[in-house]
Structures are given as structure tokens and as C-alpha cells.
Amino acid sequence: MTFSSPAAPHQPPSTRGLFINGLGLGQLCSWGSLYYSFPLIAQAMSADLGWSKAELYGAATLGLGLAGLAAYPVGVAIDRGYGRAVMTGGSLAAGLLLVLWAHIESLALFYVAVAGIGAMQAATLYDPAFAVVARKAGPAHARAGITALTMWGGFASTVFIPLIQLLLDHVGWRDTLIILGAINIVVCGAVNFATIDTVADAPVRRPAGEGAPKERSAIADAIRQPAFWALAVAFTAYAAMFSGFTFHAYPLLIERGFDTATVVGAIAMIGPAQVTGRLAVWLFAPRTPVRLLGSVIVAVFPLAFLALELMPPDFTLVALFALGFGAVNGIITIVRGLVVPELITRRAYGAVNGALAVPATVSRALAPAGLAMLWTASGSYDAVLMAIIAGSLVLAAGFWTAAALAGAGPED
């Protein structure tokens, strides 16, 4: 006998209830402690240990690559009813790895800790949480819950970057990592354990081999659709564009003549703007088809980066860019969470979404280093910004192609 999942009660979860708010708190803390913490901790480590940026960021690239490899099996496990175990276990493991990181003295052990934390992101960040919501509500009813989760996660940088900087200033990077580890164990682990429905997620006995063929059938059906591959291209380009710009925004803007205070102020606006964009969708476009919402949003990215390329170093202009970029980036996260059930298939959400995430996660890992090499080769950030604009055009073309190819949407 094997285990598979019972049919979850397909009722939209309340966006004000324990389930969504508990998962949302976990997302806020997971994103803040596992993703946004790295550049700040790495800078402090470099000053303390004398390790180069290439050595430090190589570990982050490895970790994100492992997250990409883990995305599909994590999605399958959640489809089979192990969401509680996956997300709780991921948070506990991430917390222990952060504590291990706090005690490292060698580069090899640092790579073990950071690579492990990167892999745990596949079990703790948006994609597994979206899959848990889709399993509870049914993919066709998951929109409100997924939107609410992204609003919680949108505050992660706003809350955690100042908090981490405060901790670094007062207790140093090692104790900061221990505190972040405790947050993952005590907060993230606890809320994931308490809020994911044990009964709905419990695996049940059914004839041996029945579960896996159904998942494989859903994946096989998905990858036979040209729209799946168009979306894979679109979101791989998006991941590279977003990751590359996130890691290089500060030096890029400085090189283009903006002063430090202006750059810091503009970057600080992106997080709240993401939440504002998601809130606007929740309030004013709760039932807008994803193909329409996404088709409009992807057009904004190349226009925004082209405006950045042409603008003079003026605070008002760069602030408008940051607000616009943040808003559309927040909305594209919602589109990413809903596009599988609305354009591809409503079966095996976790597995199909995980398969779609694999190339995107790898590109997210490689883009910062790739753009750094492009900067070294070209001698300026002009070429880097051109590459980002090209990525945004690929995103738009890929999504528009998928929307056209998907027809009326999935029938299953």
C-alpha cells in the first residue's frame, strides 16, 4: 500500500482566519530571515573574516540552485498530503542551519550551512505555501488565500532589513544568526505546525502505485502544452531579471549618478509598493482573469527599466520608478501563484508548480553572478541594465504567448 491524500474540502480559506494569517506570519519571517538577510550578514562576515564577495556569494548561488532541484519533490510531497511535515520540517532545519552558520570558522562549513538554507527555501517560501493553500481550497478557489500570503511576505524586507541591521550593530553577525535561527524554529516552525490542517493533510491508504501515476499523468499533460513552456520561459526570465536587479540595484543606481541617500530611500520604497500592488488586486481586481492581469503587468517591466535607463539622477523620478516597479513586482507574484490552475491544469498543483519553478530558481541563482561578470567585462552598468531590459522583454513575450496558447484555460 502507498499513501496519498484525501480530497481536500474545496472551500476558499478565510483571509482573516488562523490558517492564512498563520501561514502569512511564517512567510514574513521566512523571507526576512532566509532570503533578505544574506547580503547584510555577508557584508559583516567579509569585514570580520576577510572573505571575498565571490567566495560568500558562491554559497548563496549554490543554495538557490539546490532550491531549484528541490522544488519539484517538495510540490509532489505537498500534493500527497505532507504539507505540514514539509513546511514545519523545513523551518526547523533552516533554523538549525542558521545556528550552524553562526559557529562556522571555515569556508567549507559555511558552504554547507548556506547551501542547506538555500535548499530549505524550497520547503518554506511562497511555492510550498501556495501549494498548501491550493490543496486546502482547491486550485480554483485559492486566489484570495494566495493574494493574502503575498501581502504578508511583501513586508518581509521592510521589517527584517532594519531589524537585522539593528542586531548587527549591537550583537554582531554570529548572535544575529542565532536569533534568526530561533525565529525560524519558534515562530515559523510553530505556526506551520499549528495552522496546516492535520486532518486534511493526512495521507490515506489507497492501492499501491495509484498516487504516483496520477501525478506523473498531470505533469505529462502539462508539459505537452506549449503554454507550459512559454510560461517556463517567461518566469525563468522574470526570476533572472528580478534577482539580478535586486542584487545590483544599489551599485547600479550609484554609478548612474544618484546619491547614497536617494538610492537607499528608493530601494526602501519597493517593499511597501509590492504590498500596495497586491492590495490593489485584492480590492479592485479580485476576479480579473490571470491571463488579462498578467498580460497588462508584464508590459510594465520593460517600460519601467527603459525609463530608468533614460532618466537623470533625480529623486522624484527614481522614487516613481521604485514605486511602479515594486507594485508590478508584487502583482506578478500573485499571477505566478495562480497561473497554473487558470492556464495549465487544476490537477497536482504542487507538482506542476514545482516543475515550473525549477528553471526559474536556477536562473535566480545564476543571474547575480552573471551580471557581475557582464559588468566586469563591459566596465559599466549600462550593459547590465540593457540585459535586464532584454530579460523583461522575454518575460512579456513569453507570458503573452502562453496567454494566447492556453485558449479557454484548463478543463480538468
Q: How far is residue 9 from each of residues 24, 93, 141, 182, 334, measured CA to CA in Å?
A: 21, 30, 11, 34, 22
410, part of any domain? no
Of 206, 228, 253, the residue at which a domain comes to its end is 206
Residues 393 and 276 in one domain: yes
Distance CA 358, CA 249 (A): 25
Distance CA 298, CA 145 (A): 22
Q: Which domain holds residue 256?
A: 214-405
- How is 241-283 classified by DSSP, letter by letter? HHHHHHHHHHHHHHHTT--HHHHHHHHHHHHHHHHHHHHHHHH
Question: Residue 69 maps to which CATH number?
Answer: 1.20.1250.20
By the 8 A CB rule, do 50 and 108 touch?
A: no
Residues 393 and 251 in one domain: yes
Reading the block at residue 117, the C-alpha cell is 538554507
Residues 321 and 218 in one domain: yes
Q: How confident is the prediction along the chain (412 residues), in pLDDT tens digits per residue?
A: 333 444 444 555 555 578 999 999 999 999 999 988 888 898 889 889 998 877 888 888 888 889 888 988 998 899 888 999 999 999 999 999 999 999 999 999 999 999 999 999 999 999 899 989 988 877 667 778 888 898 898 888 888 888 998 999 999 999 999 999 999 999 999 999 999 986 665 554 555 555 556 666 777 888 889 999 999 999 999 999 998 898 788 889 989 999 878 887 888 888 889 989 988 988 888 889 999 999 999 999 999 999 999 999 999 999 999 999 999 999 998 899 889 888 888 887 878 888 888 899 889 888 888 888 898 889 889 999 999 999 999 999 999 999 999 865 565 5
Of 154, 177, 206, the residue at which a domain comes to its end is 206
Distance of CA 145 to the CA centre of its chain: 16
411, part of any domain? no
Structural domain total, the chain = 2
User: What is the pTM assigned to this prediction?
Assistant: 0.77
Residues 236 and 185 in one domain: no
DSSP state of 79: H
